[in-house]
């Protein structure tokens, strides 16, 4: 176990190695004040280094092979309680296996104007459906990078959602009376909205999200619209971009696992020249395509909006039709609205 | 001299006599002691001590030791240190021993994908690092899940390290159901549970936690029993952990090579097959090449390229690098 593998700064690492502390065991017997004296650093920094070393140096854990690991059997039992967020469009939910999963990162991409932002707003509202109505009863975080979040539209969608829900509950009037006031304004009040204007703000926000969510445990959905906007223009250094994106992808990937929420990323399309023709693919290149668990591509098919599952570890490739109405995303009402399996 | 003082605190036998003796020969951080246990501990903790010790001419040291009053003890100390240093490295094997070791202890694990097993002439070799490269949604995770379920059913003991939340228990259930006997029953349920309990999944999201997990695994592998032996380690995908650290100085590069070496060491010492997945990046001509660069190319023993015909369920796999099979292509579903 080497000092090399500790997450500490390069200068500190250099100092440790040059003085002879190359393995973690050598750090275990030294006190913070001694370390501070030897390297002429502040005592608080010495304490930090020793803390990192002791965390990494834990061995011989007899609790299974690896601490924090789960067997597939346990995961299966847990998955039965896993929740999904509905998209209000039955076919779309069907191809996703019930809705947007709360343990995965889903990426939605498509040409401009196809309804990606509408899906985002619909999900932000749907995640707040109370548990009694079959929803999650959680809050949402909406990170807006393009400025396409229209509050009036969100209000419209929220009102339509409330109408639908209350319409369902007409049979149980006394049940409905005991619910807290379900109104469009309350729904809007539970969406945390962040506006970012540059890529540094975006990265800072993603880093801060973990702390924010641990303070607001009711958050069940994080929607980023769109994750690629600030990275597409003005980047001279492509290697830096790859590194930043990789880091951001890992941090976003960690959130569903740790806090059991859904992360939905919105992406734009670009053209790619392959096999002699131009094809539409999602922006940010091949390396970004590995940063999501599921990928859904929206496209036009003869005046209908289609959603196509491009990448998923457990769902088949399939496409479904959907429509954007004044109430939000709903099932398509065309004659041939069926699910096409690819 | 700080290190010697620490030693005095831990091992009171190293009194001022030894420190003076060592200091007089410029060995500032040595660790002479006469109990085996202390010597091993000290050598493990202070490898610099070994360097200093080996730099000196041992005969000269022995001659000086002769001159001291406690010469016997000092000479014993020197010989003991030498034997311990010899014991630190791996033993030498000759060709026959290597072959026997290989045949007896290292198995070939069938992955369950007929095409892949055909291509690899058997399956994944224990003791080797196999890399699966392919563009997005070409089926890499599916191959990993299939291999995990098949190995869990045949032998057991799979560790799946997941970086993209892509282990879906439902999919594993589906795959396991395909392999098992279709008739339902109590025995089948028990077997099902046994298979699922053999697959251990862990999520890591940065390279340092991967190192933690691998070190912990290494420590526990030394103590593992024969029935619960780990046979297969899958890391999906290792490139998403390494790409964020590559490029900013050489430290990222060093970490990548260290991971590769650590994985190969685990594979070799504990007879495990290691499967990692990698993605592809665009090269200047518009075609794709595997990510992680040229230095990573030499680390895996076997490299397989997966490519998917667009709009089709079929994908084709070809061998880029293998120690004993020549490059071929195979179509599979």
What's A16's domain CATH number?
1.10.150
Which residue does chain B place closest to A73, by CA atoms? B196
Write down the ipTM of this complex: 0.76
The answer on A135 and A46 residing in a single domain is no
**Cα-to-chain-centroid distance, residue B298:** 15
pLDDT(B185) > 80: no
Q: Which residue has the tokens 């002879």?
A: A20
Which DSSP symbol is given to A23? B
In a mutational test of the A interface, the residue from B136, B148, B156, B293 whose CB has the highest number of chain A CBs within 10 Å is B136
Same domain, A7 and A103: no
Q: Looking at the partner chain, which of A25, A78, A285 has a beta carbon nearest the beta carbon of B44?
A: A25
Q: Note the pLDDT tens digit of each residue in B216-270.
A: 888 888 777 666 778 889 998 888 888 888 877 778 888 888 899 999 988 888 8
DSSP B216-266: HHHHHHTT--STT---EEEEETTHHHHTTTTTSSSHHHHHHHHHHHHHHHH
A201 in the same domain as A106: yes
Same domain? For A54 and A90 the reply is no
Q: CA of B185, closest CA in chain A: separation in Å?
A: 18
d(CA A179, CA A175): 7
Neighbours of A326 (CB within 10 A): 9
pLDDT in tens, A129-154: 888 777 788 889 999 988 888 888 88
Q: Per-residue confidence at B68, pLDDT binned at 50, 70, 90?
A: low
- State the residue range of the domain holding A215: 72-339
User: Which of the residues A11, A72, A260 would you substitute to probe the B interface, choosing the one with the greatest number of B C-beta atoms within 10 Å?
Assistant: A72
Count of C-beta atoms within a 10 Å radius of residue B265: 13
Q: Report the CATH number at residue A303.
A: 3.40.50.300
Residues of A in contact with B284 (CB under 8 A): none
* A88 lies in the same domain as A229: yes
> Chain B: nearest CA to A254, how far in angstroms?
6
Region B31-53: what's the mean pLDDT?
A: 50
Q: Both A191 and A325 in a single domain?
A: yes
Most confident by average pLDDT, A86-95, B42-51, B277-286: A86-95
Residues of chain B found within 8 Å of residue A238, distances taken between Cβ atoms: none
Interchain CB distance below 8 Å, B199 and A72? yes
Q: Closest to B165 (Cβ–Cβ): which among A56, A76, A105?
A: A105
Instruction: Report how far residue A53's alpha carbon sits from residue A34's, in angstroms, rounded to the nearest whole number.
Output: 15
For residue B135, CA distances in Å to A108, A285, B42, B211, B316 come to: 18, 11, 49, 26, 12
Measured N-to-C along each axis, helices A72-79 and B186-198 cross at an angle, to the nearest 10 degrees, of 110
pLDDT score of A28:
63
User: Do A168 and A244 fall within a single domain?
Assistant: yes
A5 min Cα distance to partner chain B (Å): 6
Question: Residue B176's CB: how many other CB atoms inside 10 A?
Answer: 22
Are A195 and A48 within one domain?
no
Residue A321 three-state SS: strand
Q: Do A71 and B168 touch (CB under 8 A)?
A: no
Which of A36, A66, A96 terminates a domain? The answer is A66
Boundary residue ending a domain (A22, A47, A66): A66
Per-chain mean pLDDT for chain B: 74
CB contact under 8 A, B224 and A65: yes
pLDDT confidence bin for B10, thresholds 50/70/90:
very low
Instruction: Give the count of domains, chain A.
Output: 2
Contact A60 B219 (CB under 8 A): yes
Give me the tens of pLDDT residue by residue for chain A, a chain 342 residues long.
466 667 777 777 777 777 666 666 666 666 767 777 766 667 777 777 777 766 655 544 444 556 667 777 777 777 777 778 888 888 888 888 888 888 888 888 888 888 888 888 888 888 888 887 777 888 899 999 888 888 888 888 888 888 887 776 554 444 454 455 567 778 888 889 999 988 889 999 988 998 999 898 888 899 998 888 888 777 777 778 888 888 888 888 888 888 888 899 988 877 776 665 566 677 777 777 777 888 888 888 777 788 888 778 777 777 777 777 777 777 776 554 455 554
B149 vs B112: CA distance, rounded Å: 8
DSSP class of residue B93 equals: -
Above 70 in pLDDT, residue B30? no
Are B200 and A66 an interchain contact pair (Cβ–Cβ within 8 Å)?
A: yes
Residue-wise pLDDT tens digits, A4-33: 667 777 777 777 777 666 666 666 666 767
The region of weakest confidence among B184-188, B203-207, B218-222, B302-306 is B184-188
Last residue of a domain, one of A25, A40, A66: A66
Of A237, A290, A292, A310, which to mutate for an interface test with B (greatest number of B Cβ within 10 Å)? A290
- Phi and psi at B148, nearest 5°, equal -60, -45
Q: Across the interface, do B243 and A242 touch by the CB < 8 Å criterion? A: yes
H-run or E-run covering B160: strand B158-162
Q: Assess whether A275 and A156 both reside in one domain.
A: yes
**A45 and A98 both lie in a single domain:** no
Across the A:B interface, residue pairs with CB atoms under 8 Å apart total 195
Which domains does chain B possess?
3-87 (no CATH), 98-332 (3.40.50.300)
Q: Which residues of B touch A79 (CB under 8 A)?
A: 168-170
* B contacts of A254 (beta carbons < 8 Å): 203, 205
Put simply, the answer to whether A62 touches B291 (Cβ < 8 Å) is no
Q: Do B165 and A253 touch (CB under 8 A)?
A: yes
* Reported pTM: 0.76
Identify whether residues A28 and A121 lie together within a single domain.
no
Question: Are residues A56 and A159 located together in one domain of the fold?
Answer: no
For residue range B197-214, what is the model confidence (pLDDT) as tens digits? 888 888 888 888 888 888
Verify whether the Cβ–Cβ distance A56 to B208 is below 8 Å.
yes
């Amino acid at each position: 176990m080497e000092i090399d593998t500790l997450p500490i700064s390069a200068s500190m690492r250099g100092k440790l190695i040059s003085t002879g502390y190359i393995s973690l065991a050598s750090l275990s017997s030294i006190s913070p004040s001694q370390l501070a004296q030897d390297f002429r650093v502040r005592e608080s920094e010495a304490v930090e280094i020793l803390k990192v070393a002791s965390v990494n140096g834990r061995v011989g854990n007899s609790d299974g092979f690896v601490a924090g690991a789960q067997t597939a059997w346990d995961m299966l039992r847990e998955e039965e309680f896993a929740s999904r967020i509905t998209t209000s469009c039955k076919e779309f939910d069907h191809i996703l296996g019930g809705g947007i999963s709360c343990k995965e990162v889903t990426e939605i991409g498509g040409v401009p104007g196809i309804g990606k932002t509408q899906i985002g707003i619909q999900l932000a509202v749907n995640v707040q459906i109370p548990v009694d109505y079959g929803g999650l009863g959680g809050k949402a975080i909406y990170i807006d990078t393009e400025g396409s979040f229209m509050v009036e539209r969100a209000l419209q969608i929220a009102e339509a959602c409330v109408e639908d829900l209350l319409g369902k509950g007409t049979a149980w009037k006394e049940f409905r009376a005991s619910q807290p006031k379900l109104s469009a304004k309350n729904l809007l009040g539970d969406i945390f909205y962040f506006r970012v204007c540059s890529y540094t703000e975006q990265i800072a926000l993603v880093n801060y999200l973990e702390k924010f969510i641990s303070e607001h445990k009711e958050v069940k959905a994080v929607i980023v619209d769109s994750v690629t906007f600030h990275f597409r223009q003005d980047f001279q250094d492509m290697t830096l971009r790859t590194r930043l994106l990789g880091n951001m992808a890992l941090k976003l990937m960690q959130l569903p696992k740790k806090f059991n929420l859904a992360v939905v990323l919105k992406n734009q399309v670009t053209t790619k020249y392959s096999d002699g023709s131009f094809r539409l693919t999602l922006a940010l290149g091949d390396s970004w395509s590995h940063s999501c668990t599921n990928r859904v591509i929206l496209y036009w098919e003869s005046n209908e909006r289609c959603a196509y599952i491009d990448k998923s570890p457990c769902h088949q490739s399939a496409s479904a039709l959907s429509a954007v109405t004044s109430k939000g995303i709903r099932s398509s009402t065309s004659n041939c609205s069926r699910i096409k399996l690819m | 001299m700080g290190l010697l003082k620490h030693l005095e605190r831990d091992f009171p036998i190293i009194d001022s006599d030894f420190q003076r003796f060592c200091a007089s020969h410029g060995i500032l951080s040595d660790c002479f002691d006469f109990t085996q246990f202390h010597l091993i501990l000290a050598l493990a903790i202070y490898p610099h001590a070994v360097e200093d010790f080996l730099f000196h001419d041992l005969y000269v040291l022995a001659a000086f030791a002769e001159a001291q009053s406690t010469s016997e003890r000092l000479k014993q100390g020197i010989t003991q240190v030498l034997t311990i240093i010899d014991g630190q490295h791996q033993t030498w094997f000759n060709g026959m021993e290597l072959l026997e070791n290989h045949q007896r202890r290292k198995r070939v694990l069938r992955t369950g994908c007929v095409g892949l097993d055909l291509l690899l002439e058997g399956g994944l070799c224990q003791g080797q690092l196999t890399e699966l490269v392919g563009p997005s949604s070409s089926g890499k995770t599916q191959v990993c899940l299939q291999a995990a379920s098949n190995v869990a059913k045949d032998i057991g003991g799979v560790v799946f390290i997941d970086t993209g939340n892509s282990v879906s228990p439902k999919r594993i259930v589906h795959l396991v159901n395909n392999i098992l006997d279709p008739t339902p029953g109590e025995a089948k349920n028990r077997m099902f549970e046994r298979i699922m309990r053999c697959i251990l999944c862990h999520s890591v999201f940065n390279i340092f936690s991967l190192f933690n997990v691998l070190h912990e695994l290494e420590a526990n592998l030394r103590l593992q029993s024969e029935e619960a032996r780990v046979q297969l380690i899958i890391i999906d995908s290792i490139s998403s952990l390494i790409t964020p650290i590559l490029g900013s100085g050489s430290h990222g590069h060093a970490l990548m090579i260290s991971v590769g070496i650590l994985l190969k060491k685990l594979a070799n010492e504990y007879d495990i097959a290691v499967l990692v997945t990698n993605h592809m990046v665009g090269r200047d001509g518009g075609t794709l090449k595997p990510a992680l660069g040229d230095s990573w190319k030499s680390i895996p023993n076997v490299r397989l390229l997966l490519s998917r015909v667009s709009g089709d369920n079929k994908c084709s796999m070809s061998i880029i690098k293998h120690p004993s099979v020549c490059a071929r292509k195979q179509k599979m579903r």
